[in-house]
C-alpha cells in the first residue's frame, strides 16, 4: 500500500484502470484519453472493441494521432451500442442514399439549364430584322445597322459566356 501510493503519487486511476480494477501506471496508454470523470466513454469502447484491442491499436499509432483515434473509436462504439445491428454502417448507408438523390436532382437541374440556354439562344434572332436565319446567332448581330442594338446583342452574348464559365467552374 505504501509503495503503491508512493509510486502513483496523488493521481487517481483513469477510467480504464478503474473499470478493469488495475493499477494505473505512469505510462498508462489510456490515461491521457479516458479521464476518471468519463467512465461511460471507456465502458462503451471496452464493450465494442475490447481493452486489449484498443491498447494494441493505440500502441501502433504515433502519439500525435492517438487523440483522434480515440475520438473516432468512441464515436463508433457509441453508434454500435445505440444500433447493435448496423452501427456506423447505418449512417454511412443513409448518407450514400442522400448523395444518390442529390446527384439525380443535380443532373435534372443541369439538363434544364442546358435546355433553357438553348431555347434563349434560339429566341435571340427573333429580336433581329432577319427571322429567316434562326440557326445562326451571329448573323443577326452582324447585319444590325443600329449600334445601340448591336451593343445589346453583344451584352447578351457576354452573359451567356459568363454563365458557361461559371458552369465549368462548378463542375470541377
Contact residues for another protein, defined by CB under 8 A: 47-50, 52-53, 57, 60-61, 65, 68-69, 71-76, 78-80, 82-96, 98-99, 102-103, 105-106, 109-110, 112-113, 116-117, 119-120, 123, 126-127, 129, 146, 148-149, 151-152, 155, 159, 162-163, 166, 169-170, 172
**How far apart (Å, rounded) are the C-alpha atoms in residues 151 and 157?**
10
In this structure, the number of other CB atoms found within 10 A of the CB of residue 16 comes to 26
The 10 Å CB-count burial string (b at 16+, else e) for 3-14 is eeeeeeeeeebb
Smallest gap, in angstroms, from Cβ of residue 6 to another protein? 35
Q: Which is nearer to another protein, 7 or 115 (CB)?
A: 115
Task: Check if the beta carbon of residue 46 is closer than 8 Å to that of residue 81.
Answer: no
Torsional sign, CA 144, 147, 148, 154: positive
Grid coordinates standing for 56?
A: 494494441
Smallest gap, in angstroms, from Cβ of residue 70 to another protein? 10
**In sequence order, which residues have a C-beta less than 8 Å from that of residue 80 and are 6 or more positions away?**
44, 48, 87, 88
Smallest gap, in angstroms, from Cβ of residue 153 to another protein? 9
**How far apart (Å, rounded) are the C-alpha atoms in residues 103 and 97?**
10
Smallest gap, in angstroms, from Cβ of residue 62 to another protein? 9
Q: Which is nearer to another protein, 24 or 54 (CB)?
A: 54
Smallest gap, in angstroms, from Cβ of residue 76 to another protein? 5
Q: Which is nearer to another protein, 22 or 112 (CB)?
A: 112
Q: Which is nearer to another protein, 36 or 57 (CB)?
A: 57
Q: Which is nearer to another protein, 18 or 87 (CB)?
A: 87
Amino acid at each position: 500500500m505504501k509503495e503503491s501510493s508512493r509510486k502513483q503519487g496523488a493521481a487517481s486511476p483513469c477510467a480504464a484502470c478503474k473499470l478493469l480494477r488495475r493499477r494505473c501506471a505512469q505510462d498508462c496508454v489510456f490515461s491521457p484519453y479516458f479521464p476518471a470523470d468519463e467512465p461511460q466513454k471507456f465502458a462503451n469502447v471496452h464493450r465494442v472493441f475490447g481493452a486489449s484491442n484498443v491498447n494494441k491499436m493505440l500502441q501502433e499509432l504515433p502519439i500525435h494521432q492517438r487523440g483522434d483515434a480515440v475520438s473516432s473509436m468512441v464515436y463508433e462504439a457509441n453508434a454500435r451500442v445505440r444500433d447493435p445491428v448496423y452501427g456506423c454502417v447505418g449512417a454511412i448507408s443513409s448518407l450514400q442514399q442522400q448523395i444518390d438523390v442529390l446527384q439525380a436532382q443535380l443532373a435534372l437541374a443541369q439538363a434544364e439549364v442546358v435546355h433553357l440556354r438553348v431555347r434563349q439562344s434560339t429566341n435571340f434572332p427573333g429580336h433581329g430584322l432577319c427571322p429567316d436565319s434562326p440557326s445562326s446567332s451571329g448573323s443577326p448581330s452582324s447585319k444590325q445597322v443600329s449600334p445601340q442594338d448591336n451593343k445589346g446583342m453583344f451584352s447578351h452574348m457576354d452573359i451567356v459566356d459568363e454563365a458557361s464559365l461559371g458552369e465549368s467552374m462548378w463542375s470541377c
